[in-house]
Structure 1
Amino acid sequence: MSLFRLTLRNVLHRRFLSLLTVCAVAITVAFIVLLVLSRQSVEQGAKKGYGPFDLVIGATGSETQLVLNTFYHIGAPTGNIPLAVLDEARRDPSVEAAFALTTGDNYKGYPIVGIDSGYFFTRYGGSRLQEGKMYAHTGDTIVGSYVARSLGLKVGDTFAGAHGLVQGEDHESAAAEHEGDHEAEEAGGHAAAEDEGTGERAGHAHEDFRYRVAGILPELHTPDDRAVFTTVDYAWAVHGLSPEEREITAVLVKPASLLGAHDLKQAFDGSNGVQAAYTSKAVSEVLNAVDQGSRLLGMLTAICVLLAGIAILLSLVAAASERTKDVGILRLLGKSRAYVWLSLTTEGLLVTATGLITGLVTGHLGAYLLKDMLFSQAGIQIEPYHWTPEHWFIVLGALAIGLLSSLGPAFRMYRMHPLALFKS
C-alpha cells in the first residue's frame, strides 16, 4: 500500500476528529484572509479616495469628519460656509482648480451631492459616462454605478430626494412631529402644530422637487460609485433660498504646488468659522486608527493560529495512540522508521492542507458576500478575487504549523522499537 493511500485511510478512519481539525484550520485561515483583504481595501481606498485634491475648505470642526464627508460620503458635514469662500479660493494664484460642494439630502440612503461637472474631468481625466450625458440643468443628475445597479435606475428616471443623510429620516421626523402635535392638542397648545407645519412644508419641498437621471457614471472604484451627483444649486432650489442666503458645504482645492497648499491653509484656516484641512493628514489619522484595530485583530488571529496548531497536535497524538500496534506490525513487516515517520507527518500535512484550501475558499467567498454591504455602509471596496503577497505567507505558515505539530507524535513513534510498539 502506498504511503498516501495509507495516510488517507487513517484520516478517514477518524472522520470526526479529522473534520474538527480541518474546521479549526479553515476558520483560522478564512479569518486571516478576510482581515488581509479588508485592510488592503481600506488602504487602497484611502489612498485614491480624494484624488488630486490635497486641500479641503469647510466649516470649523473635526478635520477628519470634514474629509470623510466630502470625499468618502461618510457621516455628516461639519456645517456650511459662505459662497464667497469659493470665489476667494479661485482668485488665489496658488489654486489650480477649486470646486464647491453642497450636500445634506439623500435618495434611499445614498447621498445627493451637488458639485460642478468639472470635478469629474479634473479627478478622473474626463472619463466617459457609462450611458447618458453630464448634467447641465438644475435637477439633472448623474448616478454612481453602484447606486444605479442597487436601485435599478436608468437614464430618464425621475425621483424625489429626502432631507438628511439617512434614509427615512424625514419620515421619522414627521412621525415624531405628528405625535408631538397630538400631545399639544390634548394640552390645548399650538406650538407643536406650528412646528409640524414647518416640517410638512420642508417635506413637501423635497417631494415637489423632482430629479431626473441624465447619465450613469462608469465604475470608478471609489466612494463616488455610491453617490448621486447634481448641480451645486440643487439645495438652494429645493429650499427656495435667496442669493443672500446661499451657502455651500465645502470647497475642494487642487493646489498648484505643495507650497501653495501650505499658503492656502494659512490663509483660510480659522477665519470666520472656516477651516482648511490637509486631506492626506486626515486620511492618515483614519488609517492609524484602523492600524490600531488591526493590531487587536492580529492578537486574536494569533490566538486562533495557536488553537489550530493545538488541534492538529491533539489529532495526531490521538492517531499515534490508536495506531501503536499497527505501527509495530508495519515495523515487524520490514517498514523503515522513515516510513512510519512520514506516515504521521504526511497525515498532519494532509489535514492542514485540506483546512488551508477550505479556509482560502471560505475567506474569499466571505469577502464576495460582504463586499456590497461593506461598500454601502463604509465605502470599503473589497476585491474578493485578489491574491495578495500575504496569501503566500498564509499558505507557508499553515503548512509549517501542520508540519511542526506532527513532528512530536511522529518522532515518538520513530524512536520506539518495533517489539515495544507491538507489545504496547
Structure 2
Amino acid sequence: MNAVTLAWRALRHKPLASGLNLLLVAIGIAMMTFILAVSSQLEEHAGRDAQGIDLVVGAKGSPLQLILSSVYHADIPTGNIPETTLAAVAAQPLVKSLIPLALGDNFHGFRIVGSTTALLDHYGAQLAQGGPPSQAMQAVFGARAARATGATLGATFAGSHGLAAGGELHDHAPYTVAGILKPTGTVLDRLIVTPVASVWRVHETDPDEQPAEPAATAPGRELTAVLLQYASPLAAISLPRWVNGQPGLQAAQPAFEAARLFNLLGVGIAVLRAIAAGVLLVAALSLFVALYGALEERRMDLAILRTLGASPAKLLGLLLMQGLLLSSTGAALGWLLGHGGVALLQWSMDGEQTLNLQAWRLAPDEAWLPVIAAAVGLLAAALPAARAYRTDIAATLARP
C-alpha cells in the first residue's frame, strides 16, 4: 500500500476535521482566484478600450467622468460642446486624428453613439453582416448589442431618450440596421454606431423637444466629446493646456485617469487579497493542529508500521502527503468556486452592459495558486511529519 492510499485513508478516518480544513483552503484559494480573475480582466479591457486614445475633449466637469462616459461608456457625460469644437481641434497641427461622439439615446440599454466610421476603424471592427452606415438613420450593431437585442439586417428600431433603458421613445425617427459587427473584445461590442447626423435629426425633429416659440437665434448643433490621437509627444504637454484654456472645454487623458481609477480600486483589491491570505493562514494553522492531533492519537499505529518494516522516511512522507492531499484538493475546489463566482458576477451584471467577463479565463498570476496551496499543506504538515520521523518504536510500544 503506497503513501497516497495510506494518507487518503487517514484523512477519511477524521471526515469532519478533514472537511473543515479542506473548506478553509478552498475558501482562501477561491477568494484569490476571484480577485485575480476579475481584476486582471478589468485592467486588460480598460487598456484595450483606451488604446490609441491620447486625449478626450469634452465639457468642463470631472475628468474621470468624461473618460468613463466617452471611452468606456460606463457613466453619463459631463455635458455637450459646440459642433465647432471639432473643426477648431482638427486645425491644431499636433492632432493626428480625431473621432467625434454624440450621445444621448439608447436601445434596450445599449448606447446609440453618433460618430463616424473612424470609430469602427479605431477598434479594428469587421462586419459579420451588412455594411457600415452610409447615411443618416442607419446604424451598425456591436456583436453583444446585436445578440442581446436580436437585431437583424434591414430591421427598424427606435431609440429611447437617455443612456439607460426606459426613457421616452423617439418613435418619430426610426433607425435601420445596416450592419452587424464581429466581436472585437472591446467596448464597441456593446455599442450601436450611427452617423452624428442621425443623433441631430432625432432630436431636431422630436415634437416634444421643440420650443413653444421660435428662438431669435437658432442654437448650434452639439457634440458630446472628441477623441484625439497625438501627432507627436510634444502634444501631450501643449494640447491639453490649449484645450483647457478654451471656454467651456476640458481635456482629460485616459491613461492618467485610468491609472488614478485603478489606484483607487487597488486599495480595495489589496484588502481583499490580505483577507484571502489571512484565510489561508488560518487554514494552515487548522491543518497543523489537525495533523498534530492525529499524530498524537496514532502514535501506536505509526510505531506498528515501523515494526512492520516502514522506514522513518516513509512515515515522514505519509504525514506530508496528508497535508499535500488536503491542500491540493482544497485548491482545486477553490479554483472551481472562484471561477464560479466570476460566472455568477457575469450573469448578475449582464443587464448593466458594462462588464464583459469571461468566467473560465485564466489570469497569469493564477499559476502561483497551486504552488501556494501546496506550500500551505507542506508547511502545516512539516512539524508533525518531523515528529513522526523521530518516532521511538520501543518507547511508544512500551507505553501502557
TM-score by length of 2: 0.90
Instruction: For residues 313-354 of structure 1, give each alpha carbon's deviation from its aligned partner in whole angstroms, at most 9, with x where no partner exists.
Output: 233133223322211221233322222221111111111111
Structure 2 residue aligned with 1:324: 299
Deviation at 1:374, TM superposition (A): 4.9
Structure 1 residue aligned with 2:385: 410
Instruction: For residues 112-149 of structure 1, give each alpha carbon's deviation from its aligned partner in whole angstroms, at most 9, with x where no partner exists.
Output: 1111112222x134x42111111122221111111112
Asked if residue 235 in structure 1 is aligned to residue 234 in structure 2, the reply is no
How is 1:153-232 mapped onto 2 (pairs within 5 angstroms)?
A: 153-168=151-166, 170=167, 203=168, 206-232=170-196
More helix by share: 1
Structure 2 residue aligned with 1:75: 75
- Tell me the amino acid that sits aligned with residue 210 of structure 1: P
- Tell me the amino acid that sits aligned with residue 115 of structure 1: S
Preserved CA contact (<8 Å) 1:59 1:81: yes
Preserved CA contact (<8 Å) 2:243 2:249: yes
Change (3 A) 1:401 1:85: same
How is 1:64-103 mapped onto 2 (pairs within 5 angstroms)?
A: 64-103=64-103
SS at 1:105 equivalent: strand
Change (3 A) 1:369 1:131: farther
Change (3 A) 1:372 1:118: farther
How is 1:334-373 mapped onto 2 (pairs within 5 angstroms)?
A: 334-371=309-346, 373=348
- In structure 1, list runs of 5 or more residues that go unmatched: 171-202
- In structure 2, list runs of 5 or more residues that go unmatched: 211-217
SS at 1:106 equivalent: strand
Instruction: For residues 167-187 of structure 1, give each alpha carbon's deviation from its aligned partner in whole angstroms, at most 9, with x where no partner exists.
Output: 22x3xxxxxxxxxxxxxxxxx
- Tell me the amino acid that sits aligned with residue 131 of structure 1: Q
Structure 1 residue aligned with 2:213: none
Q: Aligned pairs, how many? A: 388
Instruction: For residues 181-206 of structure 1, give each alpha carbon's deviation from its aligned partner in whole angstroms, at most 9, with x where no partner exists.
Output: xxxxxxxxxxxxxxxxxxxxxx36x1
Preserved CA contact (<8 Å) 2:102 2:114: yes
Preserved CA contact (<8 Å) 1:25 1:359: yes
Asked if residue 136 in structure 1 is aligned to residue 134 in structure 2, the reply is yes
Preserved CA contact (<8 Å) 1:94 1:261: no
Instruction: For residues 63-108 of structure 1, give each alpha carbon's deviation from its aligned partner in whole angstroms, at most 9, with x where no partner exists.
Output: 1110111010011000001111001111222222222111121111
Structure 2 residue aligned with 1:15: 15
Q: Partners in 2 of 1:316 and 1:409 — Cα distance?
A: 6
SS at 2:114 equivalent: strand
Change (3 A) 1:63 1:376: farther
- Tell me the amino acid that sits aligned with residue 164 of structure 2: V
Match of 2:273 among 267, 281, 298: 298
Deviation at 1:408, TM superposition (A): 1.8
Preserved CA contact (<8 Å) 2:49 2:187: yes
Q: Partners in 2 of 1:105 and 1:340 — Cα distance?
A: 71
Asked if residue 269 in structure 1 is aligned to residue 244 in structure 2, the reply is yes
Structure 2 residue aligned with 1:287: 262
Preserved CA contact (<8 Å) 2:110 2:353: no
Preserved CA contact (<8 Å) 2:240 2:252: yes
Change (3 A) 1:70 1:295: same
SS at 1:342 equivalent: helix
Q: Partners in 2 of 1:113 and 1:373 — Cα distance?
A: 25
How is 1:20-31 mapped onto 2 (pairs within 5 angstroms)?
A: 20-31=20-31
Deviation at 1:378, TM superposition (A): 7.0
TM-score by length of 1: 0.85
Q: Partners in 2 of 1:375 and 1:45 — Cα distance?
A: 16
- Tell me the amino acid that sits aligned with residue 417 of structure 1: D
Preserved CA contact (<8 Å) 2:303 2:391: no
Change (3 A) 1:261 1:2: closer
SS at 2:219 equivalent: helix
